[in-house]
């Protein structure tokens, strides 16, 4: 197939594009800077530009849409423009180009209203109850994608949860940097049970969704390793892989949530140069259970993760050792 992957300059997008190249597909990528994916053809530009999107998707059989504004803070209008209207633009272009398959890469946060998610499958996306501009706009975009009424294009939403691995600048690098600086507390002891997804598994799972789009059409699936662990254990594993002392101090989750709300208000008035150190959404994510029933995901996608959490941590440690 000819497959267009949007957002391939990102950690997960690049891995998905490389996975599809390795599977023998003709892969195009669309993002604002070169993807560096060997064997793929880059188209540079924004998903908010209909002309650029139309040029990239013409003749494509399928689209995997990952491009998004992913942040804990920022201008609400930017989230809407990129995550909602950008998705609409890509959907319209894919349908006009007669693409037969469309995989929308979403997030479990679209169904998170602040309470624990324990052993559930893909709960309905809720723009009203999701926390923060990113989650709200991704929820609306997912509903937009799954509601696409097309006789020819099969649409499926995949929600990979907490993707990590070597080269990750979002989760792994920030955990390591904050632990090194002594600014990474455990919330209420770090006991909340959470799922995560090693990068290779996330990429192969999304590729499986593309392959099984006919069977999965119209539905959303959460994708994880299926190995829930206490958040403190996962953070410790990442820190130890990087040669950094794991966090050992704890603060009450209620205090972190209150602090996060205050920081969000201050950030809105005077944004910092990086992500805010804490938000209410982040405090909720670090202190409530988030693990998911993977039986339907694995059955429908005909997929199982190939890399365990422990093996992933070993690979991460080897990567850090080679990087020194």
Please state, in angstroms and rounded to a whole number, the distance separating the CA atoms of residues 210 and 134: 24
Residue 287 — very low, low, confident or very high, per pLDDT cuts 50/70/90? Answer: low
Please state, in angstroms and rounded to a whole number, the distance separating the CA atoms of residues 139 and 152: 24
Please state, in angstroms and rounded to a whole number, the distance separating the CA atoms of residues 112 and 130: 5
Number of domains in the chain: 1
> Which residues, in sequence order, are bridge partners of residue 2?
26
Per-residue pLDDT, averaged over 211-223, amounts to: 96
Report pLDDT for 10: 93
Please state, in angstroms and rounded to a whole number, the distance separating the CA atoms of residues 24 and 162: 28
Angle at the Cα of 215 from the Cα atoms of 47 and 48, rounded to 5 degrees: 5
Would you say residue 99 lies in a domain?
yes
Report pLDDT for 64: 98
Would you say residue 218 lies in a domain?
yes
The CATH number that applies at residue 28 is 3.40.50.720
Would you say residue 44 lies in a domain?
yes
Would you say residue 316 lies in a domain?
no
Would you say residue 270 lies in a domain?
no
Query: What's this model's pTM, rounded to 2 decimal places?
Result: 0.92
Catalytic: which of 134, 198, 221, 320? 134
- Show the DSSP H helices in the chain as ranges: 11-22, 50-57, 76-79, 86-96, 132-146, 171-180, 199-211, 213-216, 231-241, 253-269, 280-287, 295-301, 309-323
Residue 263 has pLDDT above 70, yes or no: no
Per-residue pLDDT, averaged over 236-259, amounts to: 79
What percent of the chain shows pLDDT beyond 90? Answer: 68
Report pLDDT for 207: 98
Average pLDDT, the chain: 89
Please state, in angstroms and rounded to a whole number, the distance separating the CA atoms of residues 236 and 104: 32
The distance of Cα 27 from the centroid of its chain, to the nearest Å, equals 20
Would you say residue 313 lies in a domain?
no
Report pLDDT for 154: 96
Per-residue pLDDT, averaged over 104-132, amounts to: 86
Would you say residue 179 lies in a domain?
no
Identify whether 134 is a catalytic site residue: yes
Would you tell me how many other CB atoms lie within 10 Å of the CB of residue 13?
26
The domain containing residue 120 runs over which residues? 2-161+198-224+292-305
How confident is the model over 119-167, as pLDDT tens digits? 888 888 888 988 889 899 999 999 999 998 777 899 999 999 999 999 9
Would you say residue 231 lies in a domain?
no
């Amino acid at each position: 197939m000819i497959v267009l992957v949007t957002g391939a300059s990102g950690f997960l997008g690049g891995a998905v594009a490389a996975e599809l190249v390795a599977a023998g597909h003709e892969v195009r990528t669309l993002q604002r800077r070169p993807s560096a994916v060997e064997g793929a053809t880059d188209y540079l530009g924004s998903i908010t530009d209909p002309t650029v999107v139309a040029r990239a998707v013409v003749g494509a059989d399928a689209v995997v849409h990952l491009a998004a504004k992913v942040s804990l803070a920022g201008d609400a209008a930017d989230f809407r423009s990129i995550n909602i209207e950008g998705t609409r633009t890509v959907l319209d272009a894919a349908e006009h180009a007669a693409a037969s398959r469309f995989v929308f890469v979403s997030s479990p946060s679209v169904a998170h209203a602040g309470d624990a998610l324990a052993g559930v499958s893909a709960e309905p996306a809720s723009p009203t109850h999701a926390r923060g501009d990113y989650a709200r706009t991704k929820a609306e975009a997912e509903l937009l994608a799954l509601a696409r009424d097309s006789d020819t294009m099969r649409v499926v939403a995949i929600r990979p949860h907490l993707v990590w691995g070597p080269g990750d600048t979002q989760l792994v690098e920030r955990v390591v940097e904050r632990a090194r600086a002594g600014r990474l507390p455990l919330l209420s002891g770090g006991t909340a049970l959470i799922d995560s997804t090693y990068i290779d598994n996330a990429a192969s799972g999304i590729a499986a969704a593309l392959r099984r789009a006919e069977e999965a059409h119209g539905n959303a699936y959460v994708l994880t390793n299926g190995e829930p662990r206490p958040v403190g254990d996962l953070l410790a594993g990442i820190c130890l892989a990087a040669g950094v002392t794991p966090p050992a101090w704890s603060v009450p989750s209620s205090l972190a949530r209150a602090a996060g709300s205050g920081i969000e208000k201050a950030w809105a008035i005077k944004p910092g140069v990086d992500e805010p150190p804490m938000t209410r959404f982040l405090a909720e994510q670090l202190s409530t259970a988030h693990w998911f029933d993977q039986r339907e995901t694995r059955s429908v996608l005909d997929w199982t993760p190939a890399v365990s959490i422990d093996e992933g941590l070993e690979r991460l440690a080897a990567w850090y050792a080679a990087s020194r």
